[in-house]
Amino acid sequence: MFKSPNQVKTSLLSSGLLAVAMTLGAGAAQAEKDSGYYGYGQVATPEQIAGWDIDVRPDGLGLPEGRGTAEEGEWIYEEKCASCHGSFGEGVDGYPSLAGGEGTLSGDGRPHKTIGSYWNYTSTVFDYINRAMPYTAPRSLAPDEVYSLTAYLLFMNYIIDDETFELNQDTLATVRLPNEPNFIPDERPDTANTRCMSDCRDPAAIEIKSQASPSLAEELAAAQGDATEAATESQPAVATVGKSVYDQSCMLCHGSGLAGAPKVGDVEGWRGRIAAGSATLYKHAIEGYQGEAGVMPAKGGFMNLTDDDVKAAVDYMVQESL
């Protein structure tokens, strides 16, 4: 959950990638006049750039407008965060703790890594909440809510001592975390490639020997459609899809019982759930559910999964738990 020096460097690299993308786009435009160049790509639109330019730097660059206090954040935290992270940030049922652990990094015991004991930048707290929390509904919080939650977590870790202190796009970067001085920049290069400095090949001299057929995309789509149709006609194929989704997206919790999730193969643990019917199981898995045993995030937190993917995974887990 913390932003390491590598990630900071990645944030800086992302800006470079944007520049490269725009440069390549410009090269594509030039290609119309110079047939000796590649001639691929297009100029990145402002909307495309904005879609990638989402990181927040330690100096506060990238923070949205907004404001919040620890006093306001406490109520939001209790409503949307405490069920997993605990009312005091201690962590519940395997979910990470967010507070405590001061002085545990240098002792003989196991280090307790939290915002107050280990993280390096305050911007990371905001950025992570903004992108990934709450677990059951990521990217659902307004900027004011994220600022308020960040302020409350800082207050919980005794990093700020005034619950009415206003955290906003201007003040957030002024709050420094205790462990920041113990992080050092990673000076290693981003790539093993070396830049050509002499006798370099002229890009204009590079010739394209062959190009993919314009219909290749249609051919691939048709082949994929045929495979999908064949899979729907075969129960073993459906089971294979379900196992694949389970292995990639569900096993972490349902393979170990983490956070109260019923383990695959636990007949007693699944008996009542199976009795509720497939429709209920599908609904809880797709939309999310909070019960006495714990929280089931919508689609397990993998919002890229289709409803059919989730249903296939549910069917697989049920079949393995009869």
**What is the tally of structural domains in the chain?**
2
Residue 221 corresponds to which tokens in the numbers above?
Answer: 């789509």
Q: Which of 174, 189, 204 is the last residue of a domain?
A: 174
Question: For residue 71, is it within any domain?
Answer: yes
Question: For residue 28, is it within any domain?
Answer: no
Question: For residue 215, is it within any domain?
Answer: no
Q: Which of 140, 158, 174 is the last residue of a domain?
A: 174
Q: Is 70 exceeded by the pLDDT of residue 191?
A: yes
Q: 46 preceded by cis ω (within 30°)? A: no
Question: For residue 195, is it within any domain?
Answer: no
Same domain, 241 and 168: no
End-to-end alpha carbon distance in the chain: 37
pLDDT digits (tens, 9 = 90+) for 119-137: 999 999 999 999 999 987 8
Identify whether the C-beta of residue 77 lies closer than 8 Å to the C-beta of residue 152.
Answer: yes
pLDDT of residue 10: 42
How far apart are the C-alpha atoms of 71 and 154, rounded to whole Å? 11
pLDDT digits (tens, 9 = 90+) for 163-172: 999 999 999 9
Helix (H, G, I), strand (E, B) or coil at 287: helix
Question: For residue 45, is it within any domain?
Answer: no
Residue type, 122: T
Q: Which of 174, 189, 221 is the last residue of a domain?
A: 174
> CB under 8 Å to 292, separation ≥6 — which residues?
none
Find tokens 């790509």 and name the residue. 41
Q: Which domain holds residue 275?
A: 236-320
Find tokens 């660059």 and name the residue. 61
Question: For residue 10, is it within any domain?
Answer: no
CATH number, domain of 126, equals 1.10.760.10
Question: For residue 17, is it within any domain?
Answer: no
CA distances, 238 to each of 137, 230, 254, 285 (Å): 28, 10, 19, 18
Our CA dihedral for 272, 277, 280, 282, rounded to 10 degrees, sits at 110
pLDDT-based confidence at residue 35 (cuts at 50, 70, 90): very low
